[in-house]
Amino acid sequence: MKTVNANGAHIPELGFGTFRMPEPEVLAILPKALAEGFTHVDTAQIYDNEAAVGAAIEKSGIARDSLFLTTKVWVDNYGRDRFAASVEESLKKLGTDHVDLLLLHWPNEAVPLEAQIGELNAVRERGLARNIGVSNFNSALMAEAVRLSTAPLATNQVEYHPYLDQMKVLEAAETYGMALTAYYAMADGKVPNDPVLKEIGAAHGKSAAQVVLRWLIQQPDVVALTKTATESRIAENLAVFDFVLSPDEMMRIHRLARPDGRIVSPDGLAPAWDRAA
C-alpha cells in the first residue's frame, strides 16, 4: 500500500479504524482486514478495544514490523503522573513494545499543552512510540503544539469528509510537514446515498464510498481511515487505488461542503474550530 511521508513517518494511506467496535467485532473482522491487505490499524485508549486489536494482530500471523499501529492517549491521562503509565498499559494490551504513532486524542485545557507535548516526547524518546502527533486540534493548537515539540509531529487526525471544509487544517499541516488523517469519511452514513457521489462513482464503476476514499487519499498528504464490520466491504474499501478522479470531479466533491457539515464536536472536548476557508 502507498504511504504518506509525514516528517519521517511513513503512514499507509488507508487505515482500518476501530472506533465503536466492541472487542468481539474487532476479533472477528480485523484479522480478515489484515489478510486482505490493510497494514495500518487505528485504535485508542478510550475505545476500550486495544486488547482485542493486539489479539487480532497476533491471530492474523502478520509480523508486527509489517504493520503500522496507532493509538491515542485519553484526556484523563495527560497529567505527568498518568501519561507514561497509560501508554505502558496500552502497549501491554496491544501486545507490543511500541506503537508506530501515538496521538493526543483531544485538547484538554486542564493540563498545559506544554506538559502534554513534553510527555508525548518523553515516551517517544523511550522508544514506546516511533512517531507522535495530535488529534482534533484546530490550526492554532497545531501551531502551538509544533512550537512546543522537540520531535516533529506526524499528523493531526480530524473529522474530514465532503461535507466539512478542512482547508485551514490542511494548509497548517502542509506548513508543518504533517499529514492530515481523516476520520468519519462516510459522514455517519450520508456518503453512500449522495447523488453527486453516486454519479461520479457510476462513471468509474465505483461506489460513492469508494469515491470519497479516493477523494481523500488523492489529496496531498491525506490519510483516510475506513471502518467496516462487514467482511464483504473490506475488499471494496481497499479497491480505491485503480482509478483517478479528474480535477473537475475533485472540485465537485469539495463543493459539497456546507457550514453545518461538522458531525463530531463533543462539549468539553472540542476546541474552537477553524472557520471554513
- With cut-offs at 50, 70 and 90, classify the pLDDT of residue 276: confident
Q: Give dist(CA 92, CA 9) in Å, integer.
A: 23
Q: Give dist(CA 57, CA 114) in Å, integer.
A: 34
3-state secondary structure labels for all residues of 72-114: EECHHHCCCCCHHHHHHHHHHHHCCCCECEEEECCCCCCCCHH
Q: Report yes or no: 179 and 6 within 8 Å, Cβ to Cβ.
A: yes
Q: Give dist(CA 76, CA 82) in Å, integer.
A: 8
The pTM of the full predicted model, rounded to 2 decimals, is: 0.98
Residue 213 has pLDDT above 90, yes or no: yes
pLDDT, tens digit (0-9, with 9 covering 90-100), for 72-92: 999 999 999 999 999 999 999
Residue 130 has pLDDT above 80, yes or no: yes
Q: Report yes or no: 71 and 50 within 8 Å, Cβ to Cβ.
A: yes
Residue 220 has pLDDT above 80, yes or no: yes
CATH architecture of 7-187+219-243: Alpha-Beta Barrel (3.20)
Q: How far apart, in Å, are the Cα atoms of 78 and each of 60, 75, 103, 120, 232?
A: 32, 6, 11, 9, 39
**CB within 8 Å of 237: residues ≥ 6 apart:** 14, 209, 210, 213, 226, 228
The answer on whether 204 is annotated among ligand-binding residues is no
Cell of 233: 466491504
Query: Average pLDDT, stretch 161-175?
Result: 98
- With cut-offs at 50, 70 and 90, classify the pLDDT of residue 206: very high
Mean pLDDT of the chain: 97
Residue 277 has pLDDT above 70, yes or no: no
pLDDT, tens digit (0-9, with 9 covering 90-100), for 224-262: 999 999 999 999 999 999 999 999 999 999 999 999 999
pLDDT, tens digit (0-9, with 9 covering 90-100), for 17-29: 999 999 999 999 9
Query: Average pLDDT, stretch 198-216?
Result: 98
If you write DSSP's letter for every residue of 120-167 in order, what string do you get? HHHHHHTTSBSSEEEES--HHHHHHHHHH-SSPEEEEEEE-STTS--H
- What is the percent of the chain where pLDDT is above 90? 99
- With cut-offs at 50, 70 and 90, classify the pLDDT of residue 123: very high
Catalytically annotated residues: 47
Query: Average pLDDT, stretch 55-76?
Result: 97
